[in-house]
Chain A
Amino acid sequence: MPGDHRRIRGPEESQPPQLYAANEDEPPAARDPTRLRPVYARAGLLSQAKGSAYLEAGGTKVLCAVSGPRQAEGGERGGGPAGAGGEAPAALRGRLLCDFRRAPFSGPRRRAPQGSGEERELGLALQEALEPAVRLGRYPRAQLEVSALLLEDGGSALAAALTAAALALADAGVEMYDLVVGCGLSLAPGPSPTWLLDPTRLEEEHSAAGLTVALMPVLNQVAGLLGSGEGGQTESWTDAVRLGLEGCQRLYPVLQQCLVRAARRRAAVAPS
């Protein structure tokens, strides 16, 4: 960046070699639309963060860390009637600050290290999806910081980040009503458009529309929904949401196992 004196300067502009490569753009192969890629999840791997989780699904690798609760910035806010269960009044509830960032080497084209508008939008989507699950009333005047880092984008990045963030919050011991599980979908164009569950990056690039669903599996409530594109009729979108919710339910046992293992590891390390 020309004006950025905080980073080492490179050339003014550069182009990726893919622009000059012989065009080998093959459309993605057909596959079972309800297949979920095998997921590897591990919680409690960073030593400096209060809670952390790493999720790998196919080519998508995302790492999430939670820190806090710490004193919220911003002035005192007024009181009000206390909520049920010993929670703070609504104006004094804790806050969740979510930060989503992509590593510069995570996609086919290098991204500049400073954030773009898309990352801010995804950070906000993360916050909106995680808030219903976290008991923020138990952390008055405090803020919890969740940072998600996408190391490699292999498709359904936001869904993976949501799941990793929920695991990290659980690992940090933050009080939650339920885990949040995310699932991505994309609409394959063509004569008979079908919604594909857990798309790869190639399928996402060739898609006509995309959707990310966040579900709280035990409560069976949708925590977040973000979609865009030309999806056709409303029925098409409802089918997609239903498919996404099924995918989330199927993913839940893996995450339970991951948290149990992390708890066992922590118990083994802690002095008795």
Chain B
Amino acid sequence: MFTFPGSISTADGSALVKLGNTTVICGIKAEFAAPPLDAPDRGYVVPNVDLPPLCSSRFRTGPPGEEAQVTSQFIADVLENSQIIKKEDLCISPGKLAWVLYCDLICLDYDGNILDACTFALLAALKNVQLPEVTINEETALAEVNSKKKSYLNVRKNPVATSFAVFDDTLLIVDPTGEEEHLSTGTLTIVMDEEGKLCCLHKPGGSGLTGSKLQDCMSRAVSRHKEVNKLLDEVIQSMKHK
């Protein structure tokens, strides 16, 4: 697995993740918007997963297909349940101005296990985001942006996804490739954060799984979390020293 944060300079935060052959790039753009009426002290985080025809011949041009929509919804659920960033941190002036983080994930090469790669790319990109300082001018009531002073986002949790392919209720394979996914009878994705808490479990139909097998998966997910977290910390440290 390889990660390259900060590759796109037009984006406020970006990361490229390569998991075997599967490659996903995440770019985050921050804009201003009025906070939602029912939660005036919160900002927005809007994920969008794009599976263009260039990543695999099974996708066509046009509006997002079923797989892209499912993956977008999965990422939105992970953001919501794991509370990676508190939406309250994105608020600049309650009721008037808040940040919107548009997280656009584009798959460049589809070879299975898209959910893991997308979650990891999103996490790496969020850690790379730098937002300029904003102050509200009291006289004109307009925002003043100081692009010279930038600060990193407060990323509170590190959720990591681990996917498994299920074969005939018995055999489980971690991190399936495209061919393995195609032949599998079901898939399972577990998202854990660093305290060993479960954020999200995604099992879209497919063959059943016994309780003990599920427990095995959870323990494997915990150990994978440690490996991935270590890699991400190393990469972020090396970026900061540049």
Contacts and interface: CB of A to CB of B under 8 A. Distances in A.
Interface of A: 4, 6-18, 20-22, 24, 46-49, 52, 59, 61, 63-65, 67, 70, 99, 101, 103-108, 110, 113-114, 145, 147, 149, 151-153
Given A7-B72, A106-B10, A17 B57 contact: no
B44 A10 contact: yes
A46 B20 CA distance: 11
Nearest to B72: A8
A47 B111 contact: yes
Given A6-B64, A17-B143, 15 more contacts: A4-B63, A7-B72, A8-B76, A10-B102, A17-B31, A17-B147, A20-B144, A22-B144, A47-B111, A48-B178, A104-B102, A105-B104, A107-B10, A110-B31, A145-B53
Contacts, number: 146
A152 B48 contact: no
Nearest to A9: B46
B167 interface: no
A46 B111 CA distance: 10
Contacts of A15: 31-33
Given A99-B53, A106-B10, A152-B8, A113 B104 contact: yes
Contacts of A6: 63-64, 69
B55 interface: yes
Nearest to B55: A48
Contact of B54 (A11, A46, A104): A46
B109 A11 contact: no
Contacts of B72: 7-8
Interface core residue of B27, B31, B46 (most chain A CB under 10 Å): B31
Nearest to A49: B54
A40 to B, nearest CB: 13
Ranked 5 nearest A-B pairs via Cβ: A105-B27, A10-B46, A105-B11, A65-B54, A11-B33
Given A64-B54, A105-B10, A151 B109 contact: no
A70 B101 CA distance: 39
B132 interface: yes
Interface string B92-129: 00000000101010101111000000000000000000
